[in-house]
Amino acid sequence: MSAKLIDGKQIAIYLRAELKAEVEKLKQKGITPGLGVILVGADAASVSYVTAKEKACSEIGIYSDDNRLGAETSEKDLLALVDNMNRDPKINGILVQLPLPKHIDEQKVLLAIDPAKDVDGFHPVSVGKMVVGQKAFLPCTPHAVLQLLIRSGVKLEGAEVVIVGRSNIVGKPLANMLIQKSPTGNATVTICHTKTKDVSAHTRKADIVIAAAGRANTITADMIKDDAVVIDVGINRIDDATKKRGYRLVGDVDFAEVSKKAGLITPVPGGVGPMTITMLLYNTVESAKTAAGV
């Protein structure tokens, strides 16, 4: 491997230590940031994400109000819970774990969250503010990618960036963040998707390739130029009989081969994942400060 590793786990440890110190100072002023967490059903991946988020909150001193509801919970009851959290002064951020069961309208629930508590950054008000460059809650995964790039000293101004994936939670917001006229933007961004004629024609020219496709081996070594920066957002389960749980996690990038050619690369696990939760904690602390006028 010739690429230098971007160690998301380590960067997340530093950032969480900074946040913990900030929470301690806020507590001395009588302010305790609070996160309301809602999980409907028992989807295995969602349970593990929510558990990790709750653990991270408690480690840095954020109060978390955990609500694990049965899969049969009605849309009306869920909306009532969101409404209670909107009005609860102890709650600064509301996180509704997605996906929701099919009988619940996801958009309706996300729209019901008070934008002032939208720490996931999915509300159209947050998205709109982000696009026009106003202060907003930035969605956690794209913000995690941005922080990894900044904290690894990657030059964004003038960089050619290719993002593979155009979802509302990763590709689209990340592209918007990277084109902002600001010191943490000013990049030239191309987004590829399944209708792109020749993905590698774009990635081969890129200084920075960001993979968010949700498919293993989407980015192979022949698709990048020498010394490119490669950020792997993907999380894919691959059957592996040698593992106790029967599978292992891989990203969207062929790590073994791409890491021989790239300049900087994130691993999976241990890259974007730990930073995503950290940015949720960051948004919750910011929200508490705003609510308290700090």
Catalog residues that contact ligand NAP under the rule CB under 6 A: 141, 164-167, 169-171, 192-196, 199, 212-215, 218, 233-236, 272-273, 276
Q: How far is the CB of 151 from ligand NAP (least distance, A)?
A: 16
Q: How far is the CB of 30 from ligand NAP (least distance, A)?
A: 33
Nearby residues of 252 by Cβ (< 8 Å), 6 or more positions away: 164, 211, 212, 213, 214, 215, 216, 217, 218, 219, 232, 233, 234, 236
Find the catalytic residue in 117, 118, 120, 232.
120
Complex with ligand NAP: residue 164 or 187, whichever CB lies closer: 164
Is 97 part of the annotated catalytic residue set? Answer: yes
Q: How far is the CB of 175 from ligand NAP (least distance, A)?
A: 11
Omega cis (within 30) before 101: no
Complex with ligand NAP: residue 78 or 277, whichever CB lies closer: 277
Q: How far is the CB of 79 from ligand NAP (least distance, A)?
A: 24
Of 211, 274, 228, 270, the closest CA to residue 4 belongs to 228
CA distances from 77 to 71, 109, 198 (A): 12, 11, 47
Complex with ligand NAP: residue 31 or 166, whichever CB lies closer: 166
DSSP state of 145: H
Rounded Cα gap, residues 106 and 100, in angstroms: 6
Complex with ligand NAP: residue 49 or 73, whichever CB lies closer: 49
CA triple 102-111-121, angle to 5 deg: 100
How many CB atoms are located within 10 Å of the residue 227 CB?
A: 12
Q: How far is the CB of 279 from ligand NAP (least distance, A)?
A: 9
What does the block give as tokens for 243? 């593992």
Find the catalytic residue in 9, 10, 25, 53.
53
Complex with ligand NAP: residue 233 or 264, whichever CB lies closer: 233
**For the residues of 149-175, what is the DSSP string, one character each?**
HHHTT---TT-EEEEE---TTTHHHHH
Rounded Cα gap, residues 215 and 234, in angstroms: 7
Q: Which residue's Cβ lies closest to ligand NAP?
A: 167
Question: What are the catalytic residues?
Answer: 53, 97, 120
